[in-house]
Amino acid sequence: MESSEAIRPEKMGPLVMTETWNTPGRIVSWERSENIYIVRGECGGMVFVFLSDDMFRMKVFRGEVPDLTTTEAVLAERCIPHLFPVEETEEQLIFTTGVITVVIEKTTFLLRVENRDGKVIMQQNMTSWNPRGASHAEYDMQPDSHFYGLGEKSSFLDKRGEHYTNWNTDVFAPHLPEIEALYESIPLIIHMHGELTYGLFLDNTGRSDFDMRSHGVAFTIGCSTGAYDIYFINGPEMKDVVKRYTTLTGRIALPPKWAIGYHQSRYSYMNQQEVLQLARTFRDKNIPCDVIYLDIHYMDEYRVFTFDPVNFPEPEKMIAELGEIGVRIVPIVDPGVKKDPKYEVYKEGVLNKHFCRRLEGDIFFGEVWPGISAFPDFSDSRTAEWWGDLHKYYTDLGIQGIWNDMNEPAVFNESKTMDLDVMHFNNGRPVTHEEYHNLYGMMMSKATYEGLVEHMAGERPFVLTRAGYAGIQRYAAVWTGDNRSFWEHMAMAIPMVLNMGLSGLAFAGPDIGGFAHHTSAQLLVRWTQMGVFFPYCRNHSSIGTLRQEPWSFGEEVEGILREFIGLRYRWMPHIYNLFREAEISGLPVIRPLILEYPRDPRVTNLCDQFLLGENVLIAPVYRPDTDHRSVYLPEGCWLDYWDGEIHEGGRHILAAAPLHIMPMYVKAGTFVAEGPLKQYALEEVQETVTFHLYGAEQGEEFSALFNLYEDDGHSFGYRRGEYSQLIVQAEGTGDGLLLNWSYTADAYKPVREMLRFALCYPFFKADAVDGLPEISLEELEQGRKGWTRNGKNGAIIIQTPDERSGGGLRIRAAE
């Protein structure tokens, strides 16, 4: 007799089923409960939470009560609901904050955000979900729409015409423009149209999609599981969006200075002798370097929290020796813990239930470097603390930085990650890996960061991560994973890191020189010239590739690299200042021109040049055998950094770029703060700082301001006020120049006797600096006070005692 098995569905041929997408339907009621607005439709509803007059959250819900929990991305203190007036008419519900008006059509749930002039900033058309738990919404797109953000994505700066997926993925294959998902997921899009800009952040840690390609007049944002929980972030300028988004998800913590020095890495430096030799070579060759990385070979058969007893028998001694010459170690730590009952970390993890399991209780095992491994469940604070504490092993050795790799998590299997039905305990609100995936890496780095803080007695730690989610900037710097030594990848690193900066990740950078494939002399030169101006600056290469330490290609190349790495160290006060600004305002260290010149249509997709802060324009050469390139200078006057030539902006120029030159320009009327050349960031030398004032033109009235932030560069003391703030002001008076400086905070005292001011370049025919003698350059170098003309480029350099009471000078122009 046949059983029902005979009519199993799969025997019945292909099933044709039309998926129905549901919408909330027409609005049937709304209510306010503790400043939260719950709007109910026929088939579902939306809850609205106003976080300020410029930012609100809307979350789709089904059923009776909306769930207002957020993910770890969002800072709880930013989620206080604000009360704003609502008005109900026949057809609409209208919220007004004073800055924006949110209009919801009752029949369709169509939602529009308008500014005070009634201009439509954003329009959300259809919000819908399917029976399998996917949701999406559609938003209006204009003919002049441009899109930015989305964190770490390939292709160009403007994301119009692109489609991306957010699903943290280990991509060793070449990072091509068509690759939609890389290691990090930042589901934030910044939409600029005309003079209006806003952001939409989808707080969903499962797979999400942003489609700016397929719909012509609309773009869509969707997710395949979990809640449709979206934040509207108002502009009107892109800077406002970046600042607001980073109040929501947090900003970088000011890194220790050594973490923003030059870093050297390779997969792998194989033993203790090699590491020591490498460090000494940097010192012998006078190439500044702060950090050497230990890739997976330092471990005992890839067991995290161990050193290989044969190749690294005396880590403590090695680290102490390196410490004497100012070099630090940053070891790699992957999440996979080797399945080995004799290995303490594994044993503890199993006995105390720290590893990810299936609902039924069995541990999930996957293969990574150590072979079969288990993966800590960082969603459980108990496990996160355990993991953090394990880092005492490293801090006891004097290590202050950790490199998190493979934390997507990457697993050597078909799906490249953990099975989707593995559970994350999530402090009592268990979720599947499918729902949690994109958060895994960030929670690992968070646990690491917090563990290091705990065990570093007031010192600032450094964490580098490959995977992350929105908010990762609070815990770690991000590098862009396994790029290749391709010119195309060098060029692509610019828009990638610029968009990361717009997405809150101010501390980011690629492997300089390229990771996989083989670098070349020219590529290494050009990439390093660019890389020393990226926030994160590390040379890293893969096993089996040509060596790419700075001396790998002979003396000429070595000389150029020494100069440029040295430049990063000389510019450290300036760069450090920008990191401080990123910590306070959320604005990135390097910026696309569109961020500073939003009304210039020529820069909407300009990404073969970028700005360091506001005022320094960097134009890398990103093709072989090229000694000229076109550079676009935005409005204003720009000075060629190398020869002082002045260029009127708002046009393209052709820049000469022989191998030892990368075109750089400084905006006229601005400062660059330069310190002494050091071999490592915390080297103790006289901290003479030179304020270079560019384009101080005789006869022109202008004023320039610079605010120099300084602290000890390594402790958290600055959070208790142990810092100083020196404000320098220059004013053109027509017949000269007035310089004034004063300390507005002086709780930190750098080792410094003199301040310098350099007027670049000599348009200004100064004949007297009031109260100061004219001296020679040698006398100035010896520390005498006075002023001199730099023979090389004619800049006027003034040296004056650094008094806490500040000071002022008047420079008189020659008749």
Residue 482 annotated in active site: yes
Nearest to 584 by CA among 252, 238, 257: 252
Contact status, residue 220 vs residue 139, Cβ threshold 8 Å: yes
Nearer to ligand MIG, 466 or 667 (CB): 466
* Spatial distance between the Cα atoms of 141 and 128, rounded to a whole number of angstroms: 18
Q: Could you give the dihedral angle defined by the CA atoms of residues 568, 574, 578 and 584, in that order, rounded to the nearest 10 degrees? A: 140
Taking every pair of Cα atoms in the chain, the longest distance, rounded to a whole number of angstroms, is 115
Least Å from the CB of residue 182 to ligand MIG: 11
* Spatial distance between the Cα atoms of 483 and 487, rounded to a whole number of angstroms: 11
Least Å from the CB of residue 626 to ligand MIG: 28
Catalytically annotated residue among 209, 380, 482, 608:
482
Nearest to 557 by CA among 512, 524, 518, 510: 524
Catalytically annotated residue among 184, 334, 380, 405:
405
Angle at 492 between CA 489 and CA 497, to 5 degrees: 120
Q: Could you give the dihedral angle defined by the CA atoms of residues 49, 53, 55 and 59, in that order, rounded to the nearest 10 degrees? A: 20
Residue 184 in contact with ligand MIG, rule: CB under 6 A: no
* Spatial distance between the Cα atoms of 153 and 185, rounded to a whole number of angstroms: 9
- CA-only gyration radius of the chain, Å: 28
Residue 136 in contact with ligand MIG, rule: CB under 6 A: no
Least Å from the CB of residue 710 to ligand MIG: 33
Nearer to ligand MIG, 302 or 569 (CB): 302
Nearer to ligand MIG, 267 or 527 (CB): 267
* Cβ neighbours of 316 (radius 10 Å): 11
Beta bridge partners of 422: 358
* Spatial distance between the Cα atoms of 644 and 552, rounded to a whole number of angstroms: 32
Least Å from the CB of residue 466 to ligand MIG: 6
Helices 440-455 and 381-390 cross at an angle (nearest 10°) of 50
Nearer to ligand MIG, 482 or 608 (CB): 482
> Which 540-599 positions form the footprint of ligand MIG (CB under 6 A)?
540
Number of residues that bind ligand MIG (CB under 6 A): 12
- Tokens 């801090």, residue located: 395
Q: Is 10 exposed, middle or buried (0-12, 13-18, 19+ CB in 10 A)?
A: exposed
> Which 461-500 positions form the footprint of ligand MIG (CB under 6 A)?
466, 481-482
Nearer to ligand MIG, 497 or 739 (CB): 497
Least Å from the CB of residue 509 to ligand MIG: 13
Site string for ligand MIG, 388-407 (x = CB under 6 A): -----------------xx-
Residue 295 in contact with ligand MIG, rule: CB under 6 A: yes
Least Å from the CB of residue 331 to ligand MIG: 11
* Spatial distance between the Cα atoms of 350 and 374, rounded to a whole number of angstroms: 9
Least Å from the CB of residue 646 to ligand MIG: 43
**Which residue type is seen at 297?**
H
Nearer to ligand MIG, 480 or 503 (CB): 480
> Which 153-182 positions form the footprint of ligand MIG (CB under 6 A)?
172
> Which 745-784 positions form the footprint of ligand MIG (CB under 6 A)?
none
Residue 714 in contact with ligand MIG, rule: CB under 6 A: no
Nearer to ligand MIG, 523 or 639 (CB): 523
Among 267, 706, 741, 761, indicate the residue that binds ligand MIG (CB under 6 A): 267
Residue 296 in contact with ligand MIG, rule: CB under 6 A: yes
* Spatial distance between the Cα atoms of 43 and 30, rounded to a whole number of angstroms: 14
Residue 596 annotated in active site: no
Catalytically annotated residue among 72, 152, 408, 712:
408
Residue whose beta carbon is closest to ligand MIG: 267
Nearer to ligand MIG, 406 or 633 (CB): 406
Nearer to ligand MIG, 405 or 434 (CB): 405
DSSP assignment of 658-726: -TT---EEEETTEEEEE----SSTT--S---EEEEEE---TT---EEEEEEEE--SSBGGGGGT--EEE
**Which residue type is seen at 46?**
M
Nearer to ligand MIG, 406 or 561 (CB): 406
Residue 332 in contact with ligand MIG, rule: CB under 6 A: yes
Q: Could you give the dihedral angle defined by the CA atoms of residues 283, 288, 293 and 294, in that order, rounded to the nearest 10 degrees? A: 0
Least Å from the CB of residue 281 to ligand MIG: 21
Least Å from the CB of residue 437 to ligand MIG: 18
Least Å from the CB of residue 267 to ligand MIG: 3
CA distances from 49 to 27, 229, 439, 562 (A): 18, 11, 23, 53
Contact status, residue 408 vs residue 170, Cβ threshold 8 Å: yes
* Spatial distance between the Cα atoms of 271 and 266, rounded to a whole number of angstroms: 12
Angle at 503 between CA 52 and CA 512, to 5 degrees: 160
- Tokens 């700016």, residue located: 212
Nearer to ligand MIG, 299 or 399 (CB): 299
Structure tokens at 525: 């030169």
Q: Is the peptide bond before 761 cis (omega within 30 degrees of 0)?
A: yes
Least Å from the CB of residue 259 to ligand MIG: 17
Structure tokens at 494: 């610019």
> Which 298-327 positions form the footprint of ligand MIG (CB under 6 A)?
none
Nearer to ligand MIG, 365 or 412 (CB): 412
Least Å from the CB of residue 411 to ligand MIG: 12
For strand 754-760 and strand 120-129, is the pairing parallel, antiparallel, or unpaired?
unpaired
Contact positions toward ligand MIG, by CB under 6 A?
172, 267, 295-296, 332, 405-406, 466, 481-482, 515, 540
Catalytic residues: 405, 408, 482
